[in-house]
Amino acid sequence: MSVFVLDTNIISYYLKGHDIVVNNITKAIINGDNIVIAPIAYYEIKRGLIVVNSQKRLNAFNNFCTLFEVGQLNNSILNIAAEIYAEQRKMGHTMEDADIFIAAFCKNQKATLITNNTKHFEHISGLVSLDWSVTI
């Protein structure tokens, strides 16, 4: 059984009915894999839906969140995030804090990150990412 952590863009694609993303999530469920919503992804989706005041899409998101665990931040993740920031800074790379927290969450969970933005994460040592918006 694998553990997959969903990034914001993958959740957004799923909610919009992106066929490939829906199929890949469905396959993972059938395979018995554990799917987790990254806590920062939860925040990013929720804040966006609140801003546009879309109750229908907010209800769909809330229903989606009942299917999977929503991860929690803790001190271990914050420490890993600080290490990722320092590592990236020393290599001359800059990253958004949200991406750093998502990567840290995945590393802490020993999980594979599912994202459409694999390039954002390619320099992080020990992080595995896959793009489920393309056929795999």
Instruction: Count Cα atoms within 13 angstroms, Cβ side, for 25.
Output: 24
Paired strand residues for 4? 35, 112
CATH number of 3-130: 3.40.50.1010
Phi/psi at 30 (5° precision): -60, -35
pLDDT tens per residue across span 58-73: 999 999 999 999 999 9
Give the pLDDT confidence score for residue 75 in this predicted structure.
Answer: 98
Mean pLDDT (10-residue bins), the chain, 136 residues: 95 96 96 96 96 92 95 97 96 94 97 94 94 86
Tell me if the pTM is above 0.85: yes
Give the pLDDT confidence score for residue 136 in this predicted structure.
Answer: 66
Would you mind telling me the total number of residues written for the chain in this entry? 136
Q: Where are the domains of the chain?
A: 3-130
Under 8 Å CB-to-CB from 61, ≥6 apart: which residues?
11, 15, 45, 46, 49
